[in-house]
Structure 1
Amino acid sequence: MPSARPSSTDAYSLILEAIDIGTYRPGDRLVESELAERFGVSRTPVREALQRLETQSLLSRDGRSLIVASLDHNQMSELYVVRRELEGLAASLAARHATAEEVRILREMVEDDNALIGDPAALSRANRRFHKQIHLASHNRYLVQQLDLVHRTMALMATTSLAAVGRTQIAQTEHDKIVAAIEAKDEDAAGAALREHISVAFMTRLKQDANARQEEG
């Protein structure tokens, strides 16, 4: 029996993942025929997926071409404000609702990820997994949906704040503090720790951008 033809949802997920892992970076042009060939799907679901990504502002128009969108300073600032509050809420709810098994997984993630200190690319992938686990531990499907959108948009940033010198070690210390508060079922401390974690990441990224502008100048 022949396998089902890939749907636009499949194509959407494949393109989104490629943006998320950096296969396609902000400013890269996405060509319908090339994507269809790369992912082994027909052009129709690719076209539908591209339209959906454009509607979500993950792609933008450059003449007649679609390119991976980028965030300007104001957009980045607005995104971090929303992310800080939503992530803080997720951590607070995780402290209230997480099962013993979910808390244990978070602790194991922190311990395992310590081996990645000094490898920003690997730790960035682990960081996404860690935050996603906190989102799920909140046991609030609507919050998880909103955070998924926020994290998809984060992929539009050309670099990770973890690339800053010393940031990987600091981030891991912050993760440990977040998990400790969740383990203690301290909702206020968990929320505050995660909001502080996002604030520090934002300040780090602002410094990165300032340094990049200085070098360009």
Structure 2
Amino acid sequence: MPAPKPGSTDAYSLILDAIDGGTFRPGDRLVESELAERFAVSRTPIREALQRLETQSLLAREGRSLIVASLDHNQTAELYAVRGELEGLAARLAARHATTEEVRVLREMVEADDALIDQPQALSRSNRRFHKQVHLASHNRYLVQQLDLVYRSMALMATTSLAAEGRGEIAQAEHARIVSMIEARDEEGASEALRAHISVAFVTRLKQVAEGLEGEG
């Protein structure tokens, strides 16, 4: 497959970042001409970027329009299953390979994020940075690449589980335990702590969805 043209790559990154940052939410319609004007890019690279995002299932067809895709129950369950396994492996490898400096950064991240417990959107952004740091501390580029793909799909979820009442404080405690296991070089403990953290996040998200459905009745 030929490499994307520079303009196409730039347009792709711009749209992807907008989805990832919540500017474009699941169900939002993306119009080629509007995107070209918004990002000051010609329509050809925008069109190529949209085709690429559709191929990656980040966009879906609704009639003749392209919309930001959303995840159904089965897709969400599948994503969390893969995420739990990969994140657990990242924590295991981080416990084995993380430098003293990397562990210090993780600890400082947790401490700084305690101030964001009542700010779910800000905490969600910090949460992603924390997990990315764990991924990098694994010192395995291929694992980091796969986790980047997983987190790209996570952007298709309309809400963050950290918005659930009490979840921020619990998540922070879970993060602190993950760092403690990595710092102790406890590979199994680090893996289990991170897998448990993902499991609780999934349960929280399922409850959020159920409550939303009840509200629609």
With the length of structure 1 as denominator, give the TM-score of the two structures.
Answer: 0.96
> Paired residue for 1:136?
136
* Deviation string, structure 1 residues 157-206 (Cα, Å, up to 9, x no partner): 11000000000000000000000111111110000000000000000001
Find the counterpart in structure 2 of residue 16 from structure 1.
16
1:185 counterpart = 2:177: no
Matches within 5 A, 1:59-74: 59-74=59-74
The residue type equivalent to 1:95 in the other structure is A
* Moved beyond 4 Å, runs of 4+: none
Counterpart secondary structure, 1:7: helix
Match of residue 58 from structure 1: 58
Task: Give the Cα–Cα distance (whole angstroms) in 2 for the partners of residues 139 and 13 of structure 1.
Answer: 25
- Offset of residue 79 of structure 1: 0.5
Aligned partners of 1:6 and 1:41 also within 8 Å: no
The match for 2:95 is: 95
Counterpart Cα distance in 1 of 2:37 and 2:97: 44
Query: Residue 204 of structure 1 aligns with which residue?
Result: 204
Cα distance, 1:37 vs structure 2:
1.2
In the other structure, the counterpart of 1:165 is 165
Give the alignment of 1:147-162 within 5 angstroms. 147-162=147-162
Alignment-derived partner of residue 43 in structure 1: 43
Q: Is 1:123 aligned with 2:123?
A: yes
1:92–1:190 Cα contact (<8 Å) kept: yes
Gaps of 5+ in 2: none
Give the structure 2 partner of residue 83 of structure 1.
Answer: 83
**Distance in 1 of aligned mates of 2:73 and 2:55:** 21
Q: What do residues 7-42 of structure 1 show as CA deviations (whole Å, max 9, x unaligned)?
A: 211111111111111100000000111111111111
- Identical pairs, percent: 78
1:113 aligns to what? 113
Matches of 1:66 and 1:148 in 2, distance apart? 23
CA distance in 2, matches of 1:9, 1:134: 27
Equivalent-residue separation in structure 2 for 1:54 and 1:103 (angstroms): 38
3-state SS of paired residue (1:60): strand
Paired with 1:37 and 1:100, the residues of 2 have a C-alpha distance of 47
Return the alpha-carbon distance in structure 2 between the equivalents of residues 60 and 190 of structure 1: 37
- 1:56 CA drift (Å): 0.6
The 3-state SS of whatever aligns with 1:180 is helix
Q: Which amino acid aligns with 1:53?
A: L
The corresponding residue for 2:215 is 215
Q: Which amino acid letter does the alignment assign opposite residue 51 of structure 1?
A: Q
Structure 2: how far apart are the matches of 1:108 and 1:46? 40
- Paired letter, 2:11: A
- RMSD after superposition: 1.0
State the number of aligned residues.
213
For 2:39, the aligned partner's letter is F
Name the structure 2 match of 1:33: 33
Q: Structure 1: any 5+ residue segments left out of the alignment?
A: none
**1:91–1:134: 8 Å Cα contact kept in structure 2?**
yes
SS at match of 1:118: coil
C-alpha distance in structure 2 between counterparts of 1:155 and 1:148, whole Å:
11
- Cα distance in 2 for partners of 1:187, 1:112 equals 25
